[in-house]
Amino acid sequence: MAKVVAVFGATGMQGGSVARALLKNSNYKVRAMTRNPDSSKARKLNKSGAEVVKADLDDKSSIDAALTGCYGVFGVTNYWEYLDKSREIQQGRNLADAAKNAGVKHVVFSGLENVKLLFGKSCQHFDGKWEIEEYMAEIGLPYTSVRYSEYMENILGDLKPIKGPDGVYYLDIPVGDHPIHSISAGEAGVAIVSVFDNPSDYIGKKIGLSGDLSTLTETAEVLTRHLSPLQFKPGNMTSEQFASLDFPGAADLAVMFEFYQSGKMVRDIELTRKLDPNTKTWEQWVVANRDQLMATFKRIK
């Protein structure tokens, strides 16, 4: 009989990819968790075969009810909605407690490391996810932590290049020329399904998902090679300059970029490719998304 997996964030980037990958596999049934079952994304999931259930990570009773009869749970918390570490931790605890009470056999949680412990500076959106991982271990939940890298998709949004007066597109990401891990979050769902497929191999493990490790110079070279005649170069933004940018969470992201440069962020390209042999490198992702990249960058003034 197909196993029911509740997918949090199914209307978003990570969970959406997990839901799509599970829906292609007859061993699983998807229960898509959302605060708004009437949204267009929720309705699309329902049309694709998912059961859509209303649940809010801030409301434990709603999760308790929604997890009844589930074999597995994919959990993701969204720090960026409230920029509140305590609230994110409480959401993760609510998810963990509800999964424990419902007797869920395997929780795959989107965690991250404790930057404060590893690097000495607090990074709210990382440290909170580590505290959730710790809580899951403490209550004896059968869980796997999957730690994503920088999304490749960020180049289309939050990390879009800046067009210089010379017409060159500059990648203004404060990482110097240190190699950075990246993953297509929109495709990583296939690897997550492999984790669900092999519980005895992965319960109790932390898996660092990555499709590539490249410097900003290499990142820009790939873009220039495939998006010609557009040209790309690394920018020279420092983390201090990034921290003072005028948007909420800029300082927290600046610490993350410093942490990236420390080399203490461990990801495993080989294991990611074992979980999904079609995991894309940066170059493969750029080639596959060339049209969308081109259209997005041409709109940059």
Residue 11 found at the interface with ligand NAP (CB under 6 A): yes
| Least Cβ distance, residue 104 to ligand NAP (angstroms) | 16
Residue 68 found at the interface with ligand NAP (CB under 6 A): no
Identified binder of ligand NAP from the candidate list 2, 43, 58, 117, rule CB under 6 A:
58
Residue 219 found at the interface with ligand NAP (CB under 6 A): no
CA end-to-end distance (rounded Å), the chain: 54
Identified binder of ligand NAP from the candidate list 27, 49, 69, 80, rule CB under 6 A:
80
- Candidates 73-81, 163-171, 220-228, 234-242; binding stretch for ligand NAP (CB under 6 A): 73-81
Residue 36 found at the interface with ligand NAP (CB under 6 A): yes
CB atoms within 10 A of CB 209: 27
Which residue in 275, 267, 145, 147 sits closest to 203, CA to CA?
145
| φ, ψ (nearest 5 deg) of residue 70 | -85, 140
The dihedral region occupied by 45, where left means phi > 0, alpha psi between -120 and 50, and beta the remainder, is alpha
Q: Map tokens 């600046």 to a residue.
A: 254
- Candidates 29-37, 114-122, 133-141, 236-244; binding stretch for ligand NAP (CB under 6 A): 29-37
Residue 208 found at the interface with ligand NAP (CB under 6 A): no
Question: Letter for the amino acid at 160?
Answer: K
- Candidates 28-36, 101-109, 211-219, 234-242; binding stretch for ligand NAP (CB under 6 A): 28-36
Q: How far, in Å, CA of 72 to CA of 58, rounded?
A: 20
Q: Residues 181, 184, 189, 193: is their CA dihedral positive or negative?
A: negative
| Least Cβ distance, residue 225 to ligand NAP (angstroms) | 23
Residue 81 found at the interface with ligand NAP (CB under 6 A): yes
Cβ-Cβ contacts under 8 Å for 54 (sequence gap 6 or more): 33, 34, 35, 36, 37, 62, 66
Residue 154 found at the interface with ligand NAP (CB under 6 A): yes
Residue 79 found at the interface with ligand NAP (CB under 6 A): yes
- Binding residues for ligand NAP, per CB under 6 A? 8-9, 11-15, 33-36, 39, 56-58, 76-81, 91, 125, 148, 150-151, 154
